[in-house]
Structure 1
Amino acid sequence: MNQNIEPKEAFPYKPPTEEIKQKYKHIFQLTEPLPPRFFKTLFDKIVALIMLAIATPIMLLLKIAYVIEGLLIPENSGPMFFYYNAVSAGKIIPKYKIRLIKEKYIDPEGAKRHDWIAFSAEWTPDSRTHVGEFVKKFYLDELPQFWSVLKGDMSIVGPRPISVLHYERDQAQGNVTRSLLRGGLLGLGHINKGTSEMGNPVYEYEYIDQYLNRSSFGLLMLDLRIIWKGVLVIIKGGGH
């Protein structure tokens, strides 16, 4: 697939402003990923286990729906799960997702390499399967990432892990947050999906600043507030 047709919605992240660079200059001086925090890590593991238990019957029902849709509409058939390579705390990880789009929109060679660009058509509503449209609306395609949280590749709260292509772009424009902190299902910036604030990097730097300065328990309290706001976004639906 041609990189030039990459949908702009897939990369909303903006470069850090001079104000951000001055206010959070101590963050720009960091060179190694930040160490884990006890209560945050413990909470992540417990929630991931609970959510995987809850998600299992949901994903089983989705699998049945995918099979039925594939039988009724052959061009919509195909595997339910896939992953592409993303970056979390500077490390390449598999980012697990539920397939939203018809296989004819997937670049087979890119898919073999687990390149994000192979699956970028998910941003085009016309490319989605009927079940995929429902899955996207309520962010159910993110459910497999609780496995990544359980493994320790991701956290519940943190900057969203983005594809290698987008990570390199993010680094080139001066951002450092994704090289320092494990990626999350939700973040201070991510809960602004669907608003003009989505992609404003200040939220990621604000979170890392809190990560550095709060106690382990205080950081957990912040995570809980972010999770609550994220739940409200999910309930509203829309699949931004």
Structure 2
Amino acid sequence: MRVHSAQQRLIRGLNTNTRRNGALRQTGVAALDAVLITVAAYAAYTWRFGLGFVNDTFGPSGTVWAYYAIPAVWMALLAACGAYSLHHLQTGMVEYQRVALGSGLFAGAIGISCYLTMYDLSRGFFVLLFLIGIPALLVGRLARRRVLMHLRRRGHFQTSVLVAGSPAHIDEVARVLRREKWLGYRLVGAVTTADIEETPSGLPVLGKVSEVGDLVHESDVDTVIFAEGSFPDSQHFKRMAWELEELDVQMIVAPALTDISSERLSSRPVAGLPLVYVERPQAMEASRWSKRAFDIIGSGLLLLAAAPIMAAVAIAVKLEDRGPVLFKQTRVGRRGEEFQCLKIRSMVVDAEARKAELEAQNEGAGVLFKMAKDPRITKVGNFIRRFSIDELPQLWNVFRGDMSLVGPRPALPKEVAQYDSDTVRRLDVLPGLTGLWQVSGRSNLSWDETVRLDVYYVDNWSIMQDLSILVRTARAVLGSSGAY
């Protein structure tokens, strides 16, 4: 089988744009950095010498060179550290690490050069330059990535890819690429060893794995992803790498490892064999003293900050129907231990008794009960649920040790009774006030996707991930996305 000529022309056009977009992306990032560094140098110069300090031999007349030299040298070191590599401009923290590394090297180079040459550089100018410049570069990179992700979701800056492997593994890779549209991969088709017209998910099969070179040559595909089942042995893989090297095609290998963070993976070549070492899951680490200390300090500070809000909401709840302010419900915690989960009451007093009448209208995923327009929710409850204010008393649960600031949401005992062997993994850590699935779509996610995200959190826990989730939670709550 071969790609039809019309499709070939389409793919060739897409990938010509892909290469052009890659060059434009690098140029755009470099231009943005140049502007930010120049502004930082100018701001540091103006701020330092505009304040009228004295006793500095390095005055305005001696600083003119810095306005021109600093951006050039700084950007050169950023480039040397790989801050403009397309590979590092994709995803993950590497891009920010390279920017920080290049900036740190530049700061050290200036300090050492001034010391060795006994050049009397203004310390105020030096400190202000990097206090302004480094945060500006990092924020600029973050903003660029956010804009790029938004454009990719709208179909711009796409990279056309072929996926090779067994049909089942091809569909697994395709499912991720279709779900994570912000990655910018456009699926062209599949190549496999099976004699089929399309994969079970409907991705068209364009040929055999042995024909990848011809298909790439004819269609000008920019990237080929090799999943499990692509080759019978390592020699076939090596020969394919040689062939694609001549065609200037990006080769990506997707091993049969899913939902494992990069921090748990390390590659170590042994006698020419690239072995991937996988660190053990982090569920035990998520139960140690560091996370508990983080929870106590964090929940204590948040309780103090949220006290006025909870007091005002408590008055509003009491005035609306004279019912109790707090709602206590038995939930399942770590290792199946039950506890009383606290919430500000957002429903009518007899909400639990009326739940049976509404079971047929359940819109929740899996074992969860959810309704976008639940008639049991009060007027005050509708507002506080929209911004998750009703869950603020759970900070006390966190302070007591029943819950954590971040983790899988605490489930009802009857929900846990329906868990399968994979879903039970959610109970290996303390339940959280917020979690990975809440900041990834909240009520808009399917049950399988909710479980996948919670299990990923359990297996790949880290303090940095907790901090990231808390920041994203604030953004999700303020946007009230998926909350009901």
| 1:99 aligns to 2:369 (yes or no) | no
Does the 8 Å contact 1:88/1:178 carry over to 2?
A: no
Equivalence for 2:300: 49
Q: Distance in 1 between matches of 2:304 and 2:370?
A: 30
Q: 1:104 to 1:187 in 2, by over 3 A?
A: closer
Higher RCO (C-alpha under 8 Å, 6+ residues apart): 1
Q: How does 1:65-144 map to 2 (within 5 A)?
A: 65-70=316-321, 77-90=322-335, 91-107=337-353, 124-144=373-393
Contact 2:332 2:339 in 1 (8 A): yes
Q: Which amino acid aligns with 1:234?
A: V
Aligned to 2:236: none
Distance 2:332 2:480 in 1: 26
| Cα deviation, residue 199, structure 1 | 4.9
User: Which one of 437, 441, 444 corresponds to residue 195 of structure 1?
Assistant: 444
Counting only pairs closer than 5 Å after superposition, residues 169-208 of structure 1 correspond to structure 2 as 169-170=418-419, 172=420, 174-192=422-440, 193-196=442-445, 199-200=448-449, 201-208=451-458
Distance 1:164 1:157 in 2: 20
- Computed over aligned residues only, the root mean square deviation of the Cα atoms, in angstroms, reads 3.0
Aligned to 2:311: 60
Cα distance in 1 for partners of 2:424, 2:352 equals 31
2:410 aligned partner, one-letter code: P
1:142 and 1:135, CA in 2 relative to 1: closer, same or farther beyond 3 A? same
Question: What letter matches 1:63 in structure 2?
Answer: A
- Quote how far apart the aligned CAs of 1:126 are: 2.1
The answer to whether the 8 A contact 1:161-1:178 is kept is no
- Tell me, yes or no, if the aligned pair for 2:326 and 2:344 is still in contact at 8 Å: yes
Which digits, 9 at most, give the CA deviation of each residue in 1:154-185, with x for residues without a partner?
11111111111111112x46412233111011
Q: Deviations over 1:31-89 (max 9, x none)?
A: xx83623322111101111111122211111122123223xxxxxx3101021111111
Quick one: distance in 2 between partners of 1:79 and 1:48?
A: 24
The equivalent of 2:288 in structure 1 is 37
Q: 2: distance between equivalents of 1:154 and 1:65? A: 27
Q: After the TM superposition, which parts of structure 1 deviate over 4 Å for at least 4 consecutive aligned residues? A: 22-25, 120-124
Could you tell me how far apart the structure 2 residues matched to 1:198 and 1:140 are? 24
Determine if contact 1:189/1:198 at 8 Å carries over to the other structure: no
Consecutive unaligned residues in structure 2, runs of 5 or more: 1-171, 173-256, 261-279, 357-368
Alignment-derived partner of residue 405 in structure 2 = 156
Identify if the C-alpha distance between structure 1 residues 228 and 121 changes in structure 2 by more than 3 Å, giving closer, same or farther: closer
For residues 184-230 of structure 1, the C-alpha deviation after alignment (integer angstroms, 9 at most, x for no partner) is: 1111122221433565122222222223xxxxxxx211110111111
Task: Look up the match of 1:226.
Answer: 469
Quick one: percent identity of the two aligned structures?
28
Q: How far did residue 123 of structure 1 move? A: 6.2
Q: Secondary structure at the match of 1:125?
A: coil
8 Å contact from structure 1 (residues 158, 184) kept in 2: yes
Rate the CA distance shift 1:105–1:186 in 2: closer, same or farther, 3 A. closer
Give the Cα–Cα distance (whole angstroms) in 1 for the partners of residues 299 and 316 of structure 2.
24
For residue 375 of structure 2, give the secondary structure of its aligned residue in structure 1: helix
Distance in 1 between residues matched to 2:312 and 2:397, nearest whole Å = 21
Residue of 446, 459, 462 corresponding to 1:209:
459
State the secondary structure of the residue aligned to 1:225: helix
Size of the alignment, in residue pairs?
A: 193
Q: Is contact 2:343-2:394 (8 Å) kept?
A: yes
- Gaps of at least 5 residues in structure 1 are 1-18, 71-76, 111-119, 212-218
Q: Is the 8 A contact 1:189 1:203 kept in 2?
A: yes
Q: What's the offset of the Cα at 1:124?
A: 4.5
